[in-house]
Amino acid sequence: MRSGFGSVSRSSITGIVLIVTLCCFHVFALKSQLLTRHGVLVDSNAKDSVISYKTLYFNQKIDHFGFLEDGTFKQRYLVNDEHWHQKGGPILFYTGNEGDITWFCNNTGFMWDIAEELKAMLVFAEHRYYGESLPFGKDSYSDTKHLNYLSSEQALADFAVLIKELKRTVPGSQLSPVIAIGGSYGGMLSAWMRMKYPNVVVGALAASAPIWQFPDMAPCGDFYKIVTQDFAEGGLNCDVNIRKSWKAVDNVAATDSGLRWLSSEFSLCSPLKKTDVAGFKAWLQETWVNLAMVDYPYEANFLQPLPRWPVQVVCKYLGFDPYSVSDYQMLSAISEAVRVYYNYTGSAPCLNTSSTATGSLGYIGWYYQACTEMVMPMCTDGVQDMFEPQEWNFQAFSDECHALFGVRPRADWAGIFYGGLDIASHSNIVFSNGGLDPWSGGGVTRNISDSMVAIVIPDGAHHLDLRYNNEYDPHSVLSARAQEVEYFKLWIRQAKKQL
Ligand SMILES: *[C@@H]1O[C@H](CO)[C@@H](O)[C@H](O)[C@H]1NC(C)=O
Ligand SMILES: *[C@@H]1O[C@H](CO)[C@@H](O)[C@H](O)[C@H]1NC(C)=O
Ligand SMILES: *[C@@H]1O[C@H](CO)[C@@H](O)[C@H](O)[C@H]1NC(C)=O
Ligand SMILES: *[C@@H]1O[C@H](CO)[C@@H](O)[C@H](O)[C@H]1NC(C)=O
């Protein structure tokens, strides 16, 4: 999915990607927005965990907010009720984000780990326009008219209607309090679900949810600063060498023989041309960003199969004195470092600069969302971060969106609709963030009230708390999970009292 868009954006501007990031030039900006680009699943513990669920479909309205379009589509959702207590056991409801819901389901071991203790039913609902939940089937992405019903508002309404329907049709569920859970963009949705539909969900866990990564809510440079800190702490000189590598790429790529050398040194699938150099640098940049996001304390396979603490492993190759090496030596080391990310399993025949993570995410859908209401400014200055300076340029971003989709982003809408920084009147939301996660820069990391709570996991990367328990988990994530479960129990008690 991503390939088409990726190449468009890279050639036209240069870019990065949110779960992945839409950023580098503008694209760069766009990419930074795919919160979590994901790849494949299964970590060492998950292998032994048996995940079993029923796959169900619900006839969902294509348009919840207008009355002309009266069609429906099949929204996919997954259910496991083996531990559910029919008399009032809660429903843990995963608010699906920009990808295949089975992939999120498999990567949210936390819910599977706590289902028995809470006697909970697990429901994972797919976000419209991703996975199998396509409002217009194969035509869903054919043009802007068909994409018109892709928005967070429609997705939240889907979740609310689906929950109402479950309560109506599943015997025993009428008394079940529903808790929304999500990570990354899915975490934004779970928080917003509680804000917009407090009659439907009693509380929400919003893990690594950058609800403040919008204009005028967080500094645009925080994201890349955090990436840089991760590499600075990953090993001696690591960030310094990456900062110096951009110029080395320019120098070497200036000649044809240099381009040939780069293509061969990096084992690229297709030879680098002069016009590809910006795209090549964007690919490197995105690689560092992805590594920071999935810097987990154990071997895992989220965006790519990776060793434990992958940033430290990468930094082992980049510990040399930056002033003692030639450009070629520098880039030779960089090429070893990126292979940690792309070839940990030893099965990559070559490195493909049009791809940085596996395919369970819907990149084009996310780009469209970034180009409409999910406007997340990103910038770099090359001083406080290790990247080439790139300002946030809304106009350029908007022009790129217009060229791609024929639409222009509404920069202020998310703030107006979801409350921006002004969310103190809400209740029962836990925001968890990992200190290593670049997305924590746009997250809620301070307590807002007794029931709008921030949990910080200093040595956690992107929603580590949503993953299965693992023997290598740092204490901070174990205690975060325990605290989260205590809040769930509190919300459940509160809900029961009100019955
Ligand atoms: C590189 O990745 C793109 C996008 O995923 C894909 O379309 C292309 O086939 C890949 N090229 C090779 C040589 O694997
Ligand atoms: C998720 O796990 C199920 C069951 O193990 C498997 O069938 C499915 O392919 C997985 N989904 C993804 C996207 O990996
Ligand atoms: C990946 O690792 C294998 C095993 O070490 C090696 O044979 C192969 O050349 C590597 N591929 C790349 C692109 O580095
Ligand atoms: C917010 O409050 C909770 C509960 O008192 C506490 O555990 C947590 O550390 C606080 N979070 C921050 C970021 O101070």
Asked if residue 349 is part of any domain, the answer here is: no
Q: Domain of residue 58: give its range.
A: 23-209+423-497
CATH code assigned at 32:
3.40.50.1820
Q: How far is CA 147 from CA 72, 136, 151, 406, in A?
A: 15, 9, 9, 11
Same domain, 182 and 227: no
| C-alpha–C-alpha distance, residues 21 and 452, integer Å | 27
Q: Let me know if residue 387 belongs to a domain.
A: no
Q: Which atom of ligand 1 is nearest to the CA of 359?
A: 5
pLDDT at 363: 83
Alpha helices in 62-202 (DSSP H): 101-106, 109-118, 144-147, 152-169, 185-196
Same-domain check for residues 187 and 240: no
**What is d(CA 138, CA 390) in angstroms, rounded to the nearest whole number?**
37
Segment (H or E) for 231: helix 222-234
- Closest listed residue to residue 79, CA positions, set 106, 114, 54, 49: 54
Under 8 Å between Cβ of 326 and 258:
no
The verdict on 228 and 164 lying in the same domain is no
The one catalytic residue among 32, 184, 190, 432? 184
In whole angstroms, what is the distance from residue 125 CA to residue 488 CA? 19
Structural domain tally of the chain? 2
Q: Residue 468 domain-assigned?
A: yes
Residue 34 shares a structural domain with residue 82: yes
Please identify which residue in the block is written with the tokens 């071997």: 299
Token pair listed for 166: 């479950």
* Chain center to CA of 376: 13
Strand intervals (E) in 210-326:
300-301, 305-306
DSSP β-ladder status, 91-95 and 121-125: parallel
Contact 153, 176 (CB under 8 A): no
Which three-class secondary structure state does DSSP give residue 83? coil
Question: Do both 124 and 193 map to the same domain?
Answer: yes
Report helix, strand or coil for 460. Answer: coil
* Catalytic hit among 43, 222, 437, 473: 437
Sign of CA dihedral 243, 244, 249, 254: positive
Give the CATH number for residue 287: 1.20.120.980
Are 270 and 313 within one domain? Answer: yes
Question: Would residue 412 count as lying in a domain?
Answer: no
Among candidate residues 462, 463, 473, 476, the one labeled active-site is 462
Domain boundary among 321, 342, 363: 342
183 with 263, same domain: the answer is no
Ligand 3 mean position, distance from CA 263 (Å): 15
> Among the atoms of ligand 3, which is closest to the Cα of residue 343?
1
Sorted by sequence, the CB contacts under 8 Å of residue 143 that are 6+ apart come out as none
Query: Is 462 labeled as catalytic in the residue annotation?
Result: yes
Whether residue 88 is found in the same domain as residue 198: yes
Question: Please, which residues have CB within 8 angstroms of residue 345's CB and are 6 or more apart in sequence?
Answer: 305
Among the three residues 311, 326, 342, which one is the final residue of a domain in this structure? 342
Residues 201 and 236 in one domain: no
Helices vs strands, H then E, count in the chain: 17, 10
- Per residue of the chain (499 residues), give pLDDT as tens: 222 222 223 222 223 334 444 333 333 333 444 443 333 333 434 444 678 999 999 999 999 999 999 999 999 999 999 999 998 999 999 999 999 999 999 999 999 999 999 999 999 999 999 999 999 999 999 999 999 999 999 999 999 999 999 999 999 999 999 999 999 999 999 999 999 999 999 999 999 999 999 999 999 999 999 999 999 999 999 999 999 999 999 999 999 999 999 999 999 999 999 999 999 999 999 999 999 999 999 999 888 899 999 999 999 999 999 999 999 999 999 999 999 999 999 999 999 998 777 567 778 999 999 999 999 999 999 999 999 999 999 999 999 999 999 999 999 999 999 999 999 999 999 999 999 999 999 999 999 999 999 999 999 999 999 999 999 999 999 999 999 999 999 999 999 988 7
Both 175 and 279 in a single domain?
no
Among 342, 375, 402, the domain boundary falls at 342
Same domain? For 188 and 236 the reply is no
pLDDT value of position 361: 73
Is the separation of the CB atoms in 31 and 21 below 8 Å?
Answer: yes
| Pair of tokens at residue 258 | 């240099």
Q: Do 193 and 81 fall into the same domain? A: yes
Q: Please report, as a single letter, which amino acid is at residue 138.
A: K
Q: What's the confidence (pLDDT) of residue 36?
A: 38
Q: Which helix (H) or strand (E) holds 484?
A: helix 475-497
**Could you tell me if the CB of 41 is within 6 A of ligand 2?**
yes
